[in-house]
Structure formats: C-alpha cells, structure tokens
Amino acid sequence: MFALLALNPPVLSIFSVEVFLFGIPLLYLYLLAVWLLIVALVAWIALSAPKARTPDGAGRSARNRRGSENAR
C-alpha cells in the first residue's frame, strides 16, 4: 500500500521540480529512496515470517527443507 501511495503521480509531481541535490534531480533521489525503502520493508517482512515446521517439530525454512530432501 505504501508503494502505491508513494509512487502515485500526484505525489511524484510534488518532487518534479527543478531542484538538484549533489547534481541529481530531486525526483530521482525521491524515487531511489522510495525504492530502497520498499526493498528494505519486503526483506524485513520476509525474514520475520514464521518458519515452516517439519513433522518432527523442528523448525526449518522451506529452502532448507527442499535442500535436505534432495540430499537423501
């Protein structure tokens, strides 16, 4: 939801001005900052997700579980 609001054309038009920071247009810096924030939020959500449980009750991620099945 944050990405939809942050990348909405009316919001982007606020940053579409002839202002430069370190020689870079403000709109480009805004887009970079929003993109970095979205990537960080997705990574945080993915890493904080509960791990899958195996039948013996040991917690393993789905990635590790697939790897151990191939080793058998």
| pLDDT class of 60 with cuts at 50, 70, 90 | low
Q: Which residue has the higher pLDDT, 11 or 51?
A: 11
Are residues 30 and 19 in contact, defined by beta-carbon separation less than 8 angstroms? Answer: no
Between 34 and 52, where is the model more confident? 34
Q: What does 16-50 look like in DSSP terms, one character per residue?
A: -SS-EETTEEHHHHHHHHHHHHHHHHHHHHHHTSP
- In the prediction, which pLDDT does 68 show? 56
Q: Please give the residue that has the higher pLDDT: either 11 or 65.
A: 11
| Domain locations along the chain | 2-71
